[in-house]
Structure 1
């Protein structure tokens, strides 16, 4: 680079670093750098390379919103067109094509909203034509960028999935946004063009790579390398299309599964060709494995597995060199040395442990040293342990020695010492036993002097006092009773903290128990059954839900005033709310499998609310709680918890989740606030059938809420146009007068509007 260009490049790099740090500066920096890198600027090739890289990086950055990108994208179209038509540098071309791939969806969406802007659309069409002409003749790096551009065209010109009303952002740009009568971009032309470009992409992986023509010109290595890069880039681009465009999944997967990634096996098997084949085969396998992971139950799963097994066998036949080698000869493993046996993976013969010869003890008295010495000729027999003054030094020596001892030899040595001890015990002389004094008129007791076995002798020795034990006079006074000191009283905060820790441990244990198996679970029914008769998941759920619901109900008579215990009572309320929060988190972590837990919890809440409501009926007296006389009122925990659970589940419920029918039908209390959630859910077109199914089930099997269910259906029929047909079928059977009233009101409204129009015309 010449010195005159260093200063502009340095300034441009400073601006680029500022934008990389914060994407909000892009709309300000782009107008400032365009006079330097733009179409009319007399810039050097270095400046143009920097400009193309900057534009590709800018419009691919996710740090600033697409709505702000649109006016900037329109302002750089002329520059990108000039780069593609007037610059031959491959680096500039690569970055320009990448920038065009990022800009095309933005211009496409702008033209949908503003059909009169023909100037910018003509620039975009010129850029598109230039890039598509380069796909077959450009260098390998530029062709890979062209593949990315074609992928973007197919992505935005193919119908996508219908927008989800639960997601406020609509960032997916597809053919579904184009009106059928758009004057600038006809719907049929765009769909046909995307189909043709998709066929062109799939044709890249099925091309013959011109091997026959280039083998005679000795151009095989370079062509194979470039074509392998192009095939890999094409396979990588197909993954996005499979994920976001269901309309072309069948076409793409059928083409990929007809592709042979090992077709280069017919060429000379050089190391470079092997690397290329492995790369293409791994990319193909990764693409298909990701498809199976996203949809394990899809219709193509079986065919994909068969294709992967087929490719695996072909890869072993073509690339695995181990099958081509001569197998090792089979040799016998008898009488082999350790090294030979290890190489042949032969089992090591288990040798019988050698019997250790135990020398006899010397005659006469035997000391402890002689008793435990099994090898009197060894060096350790005369070793004096008292030479170690530092016990730590002795420990550092003994621990490694004990770790290195063979367990078999240690056991045999212990048995040898035990046999010596038993022999000495039986050979010891017994002291003479004196007969007790004779007692008149009583029989003399003569014990049987039978020889004691070794176990009795060892028990006596263990219980015997030490040799230097001198008994002292023991006082005959009785011992005073010993009492443990009383534990200090807990404060309210400490009690609440300990309660929360106990709850957390209970839920940790509950998560480790796992879900019950319905096939092996045996439930004892009837009214006399115990709610928590075992330590399974249901028992712990019952205990925790009752702790949450009944901890706040009080343990004594509610007519009695609460005095100093009010603080403890407030702590119990906090404990109940903590358990409710933990139960909610536990259920929502896997709500489809734990819907029975939610139903059990809400039943406990409903029962507790009714008990409190009955006990505080009009005969309620003022209750002193430390702050004045107030009356006990119903807290309504069931209503609050039921709505919280229902709102949490409605966020994730799909149209096929029949578990919602079970939840609504089994909770004990239903009112308009709960059933109105079905009306809200029916605003999603995919969940209208599920909402209608819930209301129909309630009408058929829960007669007390029939009127509420029909009221919700009438409201849904009047306010939701998409649910009118489904609601009308049920209202014709259950409440046809509602349909008739709406028709009369509509007729009356039309008549009044017509009369008003006639009066205006007559006047």
Structure 2
């Protein structure tokens, strides 16, 4: 076989030709039974002979292509497909990992995308843990390769134009991610994709885990696609259009994602994308035109299928509510006009200067630096399994000799020197000489080297600390040893320092006595002492100036403060998305105390603990000095609450209670901030409130710490809506019965409501009788 290296074992052509002939015969006679048998035969030949040590690209392509064909065959039942997928998913994963062929990898990813809902349905019924582990590993493998050129490993991984390379594999990954999002998000009655509704996942499955964890993962993957559209600066029309088309199907299959998707679509700025290297102005214009047409088709698709509805609102960049229907409609009309104008002028009739959009050098440098960091981080994370094995070996070295788990490999309380490795090492000293802080990262296609980023080093240290085997007693013993080493070194330093100061003091005293004796003999004591005082007076101020210059710190500018605050907010929010490596330890937001000693520090929380910190920071922290920066946090809380308001009512109420209490105990007692943000929350929520949200809305209105006439007037939109007015009147009735202090404003509200719509008089009067 041409192009095969000497170490590669290729399948004989006769065997491969035989499989191809068997596949052709299967198509002619009873394919639903014979095609799976051909796949089984291929598997028997392929594994383990050709994959464990060698790779065979033609056979890999044949296997993945046949697997993909079977899963799409109309005559094979879904149950049969799920069993076939379960039998061969591990082989598909091994091929994707080992065969560095773009065609094979693309087909493998597409095959897994087709098999994913079938396998999830099978696992939900059979609880096959082994299959789920393989699927999870395969899924993580695909996601980790999303922003790389895999399997084209010979390319520069931080190249600015990576996204225009290996497009087939990237588009296959987009389809797979879309499939995972649709399967993991719980379907509702509004969803139109009936085939996905058949995948029923129980709330707390013994293998799949809690349903909310699957939904959280789906939202994270959805953000992965949306962030690419918004943040990617280079023009990659094929990938942009692939994502937009998949978003349309996600939106149709899971209507709950509509607001999240439309918010990102409005942030997607086609004009801000730069030309990739080697792209001509004509090609750039064509790419831009194709994306604009795809954008327009997306909007029309949403409106046609009633996914983008009138009066549908949301927030963009934390601003006031935006009417998605009217805004996207205007954009669609504008793009249609641009297309008609281009068609009338002709595709070649354009000003090249207007379509020459190259990336500035400074921006290019910043992007390359960021990609360089991510590339190093990815390389370090790829060795995470090796690091964990080393930790386990170190901490469990003596376990085989007895049951005393407090033993440590290196128990000496005296460090051999004053280095960090000597103080903290629990291994033999010979194994602790590798200094990661001096490790150099070799840049691709470059002779220069850069040290590892500090964030990566911190992450490695945290991973090392969590590798104590889950034994609290042993961890305390290790800390005690480190503390003893520190104490010993500090004692040595103090003794050495005291002895040196004593010797220096004795020397100075002798010098002073000799100096005075000489000066007395010459009769110049007074004059010399005056000179010494003058010299001392001159020296001290200069020394102080020098010290001030050394330790002087410039105050941060307002821009820097805002940028750092945004970074802090992002880091705090991202904590909730960190996967739990210790299994399903958090159950129903309650911490299992028996497993507390096995948790990382970041896992000592419930799901919303990061937001509790943000609430206090905005109200009682920086909010005291900077309203602008506090409102930045409030905007983040506002957007987060609106994304899934039904399950985040407790967080909304906690936030509002904190706002109210702080203003209640303050001297002004004006409730300006509380009124502003509580009314803004109602403005954002009420357009989306439906009858099914009855419990949520009644709880919200009844537990808000302060209700005013302005708050109640927000409900007028619900009460005047024939489809939702029962929700509004039920809420008002509840408030009258269980919150008497607001009876007067409810009475005024109902009287005003009757003047606007006389058909509601009967409903209003029934509540007025109770006021």
Q: Same fold (TM over 0.5)?
A: no
Structure with the bigger RCO (C-alpha within 8 Å, sep 6+) is 2
Q: Which has the larger radius of gyration?
A: 1
> TM-score, normalising length from structure 1?
0.37
- Structure number with the higher helix fraction is 2
